[in-house]
Amino acid sequence: MQRLFLMALVCFALVACASNTPRTALPVAHDASTEHAQLLVMLRAPPQHFQPASVYGGSYRSSSDEAARRRVARQLAREHNLVLIDDWPMPSLGLDCFVMRAADGVSTAALADLLAKDSRVESAQPMQLFHVLAQPETSQSDKKGDPLYTLQPAASRWHLSELHQTATGKGVTIAQIDSGVDAVHPDLQGQVVQTRNFIDDNPYRPEKHGTEVAGIMVAHEGNGLGIAGIAPDAHLLALRACWEDPAHDTTAICSSFTLAKALQFAMESRASVLNMSLAGPDDRLLGRLLDVVMARHITVVSAVDENLAGGGFPASYPGVFAVAGDHVEHGPPGVLYAPSHDIPATAPGGAWDFVTGSSFAAAQVSGLVALMRELSPEITAARLRDAMEPETTLGLTAQRPAMIDACAAVARASGHCACDCTAVSVTSSAPRR
């Protein structure tokens, strides 16, 4: 009898362990070959209204329905010779997203098509990769306290100090989906209200591209250090969904899955502006999430990759503010242009450097959107986009490209002149909401 009791106890323990197996994180060492062998498989889940807490990590689903979906995912993996790697809830879409890895040499596109025909599967797609849009720096400074404000293109072109007499981004939250941000940088201390790592289970870490973009958007103004952000009083959510190769720190890579997790978090965090200084191929899951993001009155700003059709995704997605740098000669139709060459930026370790690329043009536009959203919180995306359109009647289009006039944009959005008032008319520009 005692032996039977012990055997039953062991069986019970094994079952308990199996039912409480922790989620398997994505591999720490990322590379393109590993990611391209993966698929995203979506299973239907009852839509729920979740609010992310301090322990948010995809583990807030604790129902029998979740266990049933995981059983289905494991069964699908066995049937198709896949390895179940990770999963994450997408409550805004009523889905659970499962990451599965295919065997070497198997076409993930063909396998995704096959899985999508299964009645148990809501949709499936190959994992895709995205990249940030930065170019190697032309120069660098690690002198802490080096006053770089006068070297910022926006300081003169956008009359930044005058703009800040009217708006500084106060009360506006910007969600930045990027590589890690150095939140203790002297020009960024107190500006980052949350950091989250959607790459792996390792501690959040600062990285180059994310820190540069963050400083351009929200660096302190008037502290005697470095630069001034376009929206220095905005709050920043630093969402690490891209990872950098330490040997090539001017580049960063993101995946469909890491970006999807960050988008889900951003939309639940009451952000007003979403900056995505990255580009890649069209992505169905991310497009569906962006639809929900924009339906929640979040302005999405993305960088343009001139080497990809339509500027790349998400810049090419309807409703997204596509931004190219002034170094881009021929961008897709409807693109906004902003300064992008030799822009002073914050760098990890309390340093500053000079950066070039559409990533940083997009960062400036995200900061400008924060100023406009502060003055007109309910302004629609269409009105906001119209306000940024360059004035064609003044002959500005003769210059290629036609740049955003920040003073005019703020005036059109708010109904009163903030700067450069001799060149801006607001007689017919009541707040557009």
pLDDT tens-place values along the chain, 433 residues long: 444 444 444 343 333 333 333 333 333 334 444 667 899 999 998 755 544 444 444 444 456 788 899 999 999 999 999 999 999 999 999 999 999 999 988 999 999 999 999 999 999 999 999 999 887 654 444 443 335 888 999 999 999 999 999 999 999 999 999 999 999 999 999 999 999 999 999 999 999 999 999 999 999 998 888 999 999 999 999 999 999 976 665 689 999 999 999 999 999 998 999 999 999 999 999 999 999 999 999 999 999 998 999 999 999 999 999 999 987 777 788 899 999 999 999 999 999 999 999 999 999 999 999 999 999 999 999 999 999 998 653 444 444 568 899 999 999 988 878 787 765 555 444 443 3
**How far is the C-alpha of 279 from the C-alpha of 282, rounded, in Å?**
9
**Domains of the chain, first to last:** 22-127 (3.30.70), 132-423 (3.40.50.200)
Q: Longest C-alpha distance within the chain, in Å?
A: 96
Q: Which residue has the tokens 């905005």?
A: 234
In this prediction the pTM is 0.84
Both tokens of residue 297? Answer: 């009155």
Pick from 261, 241, 239: nearest CA to 253: 241
The amino acid sitting at 218 is V
**How far is the C-alpha of 345 from the C-alpha of 143, rounded, in Å?**
13
Both tokens of residue 202? Answer: 């390792």
The secondary structure element, H or E, covering residue 235 is strand 235-240
Rg from Cα positions in the chain: 23
Both tokens of residue 158? Answer: 């956008």
386 by Cβ neighbours in 10 Å (0-12 / 13-18 / 19+) ranks as middle
What does the pLDDT read at residue 58?
46
In this structure, are residues 36 and 130 in contact, taking their beta carbons and an 8 Å threshold? no
Pick from 158, 185, 183: nearest CA to 350: 185
In this structure, are residues 344 and 332 in contact, taking their beta carbons and an 8 Å threshold? no
What does the pLDDT read at residue 34?
60
| CA–CA–CA angle 78, 79, 85 (5° rounding) | 40
C-alpha distances out from residue 162 to 11, 296, 360, 367, Å: 72, 31, 21, 15
Query: Could you tell me whether strands 343-347 and 351-355 are parallel, antiparallel, or unpaired per DSSP bridges?
Result: antiparallel
Both tokens of residue 43? Answer: 């299973």
What does the pLDDT read at residue 332?
84
Cis amide linkage into residue 52, ω under 30° from 0: no
Pick from 112, 120, 97: nearest CA to 36: 112
What does the pLDDT read at residue 417?
83
Within 8 A by CB and 6+ apart from 353, the residues are 137, 139, 140, 141, 212, 344, 345, 347
Pick from 32, 346, 45: nearest CA to 211: 346
C-beta neighbour count of 348 within 10 angstroms: 19
Both tokens of residue 90? Answer: 């997408």
Both tokens of residue 385? Answer: 């986009």
Integer distance in angstroms from the first to the last C-alpha of the chain?
77
